[in-house]
Amino acid sequence: MADIKIPENIVDFIQYLLPERSSFFEKIEKECEKEYIPLVKPEVGQFLQVLLGIKQAKRILEIGTGIGYSALCMAMASRCEDRHITTIEIDKDRYERACSYFEEADVSSIITPYYGDANEIIPKLNDTFDFIFIDAAKGQYPEYFNKIWSLLEPGGVLVIDNVLLNGWVIDMYWPERRKKTMVCRVRDLLETLKDHSELLTSIIPLGDGVSVSVRKIE
Ligand SMILES: C[S@@+](CC[C@H](N)C(=O)[O-])C[C@H]1O[C@@H](n2cnc3c(N)ncnc32)[C@H](O)[C@@H]1O
């Protein structure tokens, strides 16, 4: 089956309706495009900012820093007293570039970047979080979910990017054999979110699909 994508005219219109981005964000977008570095779509960056505005989250955990674009979107969302972002990146070069962007944007004091494998770092974190954003290796999504679960506070929000995977998860289609595990694991994660008695979840067809869940307050 062919990839299912949001029609281009809708994407263009949604992007047209975004506020103009600063030259700083445009610079990072161009760098990522030139070097094939993955990053959230600008409309997903905006969506994160909207969610943070609603939730007024203070303790944020991000899995998958990249070179810092989404963390910067969250750090520079409408200012909130005491907001702090913990973000984890496995690639040393990307981690270092993210750190220098955090300094350039003067947000280093509110971001703690970790270099390493999230699967090893998450169990060592002593904090709990009221907002968790997952955007790392898609084939590890169920693993990340199991690891972050005990750190997500009741009432906390969990956002996961790329959950529709070009629509492949709908029909369990993989264009190449090596993508099979990734598709199966993202689908497993979606089934987990669907069946989870302590979560309420919506899937938003924005970018490559974003799930938004809230941990119920018992
Ligand atoms: C889609 S990119 C993140 C983009 C970033 N959220 C942004 O929008 O700017 C995914 C990142 O996750 C990182 N990654 C993959 N597996 C990881 C792991 N196990 N632990 C930490 N980071 C990981 C990759 O190196 C990559 O930079």
pLDDT at 212 over 80: yes
Burial of 28 (0-12, 13-18, 19+ CB in 10 A): buried
CATH number of 8-215: 3.40.50.150
pTM for this prediction: 0.97
Centre of ligand 1 from the C-alpha of residue 136, in Å? 4
Is the confidence at residue 208, as pLDDT, over 90?
yes
Pocket test for ligand 1, best of 41, 91, 117, 208 (most atoms within 8 A of CB): 91
| pLDDT of 65 over the 90 cut | yes
pLDDT at 1: 61
Residue 125 CA, ligand 1 centroid: distance in Å:
18
Q: What is the pLDDT of residues 18-53, one digit of tens each?
A: 999 999 999 999 999 999 999 999 999 999 999 999
Q: Which of 30, 31, 101 is nearest to 65 (CA)?
A: 101
pLDDT at 184 over 90: yes
The residue to which tokens 């995977």 are assigned: 165
Q: Supply the DSSP string of 34-58, one letter for each residue.
A: HHT-----HHHHHHHHHHHHHHT--
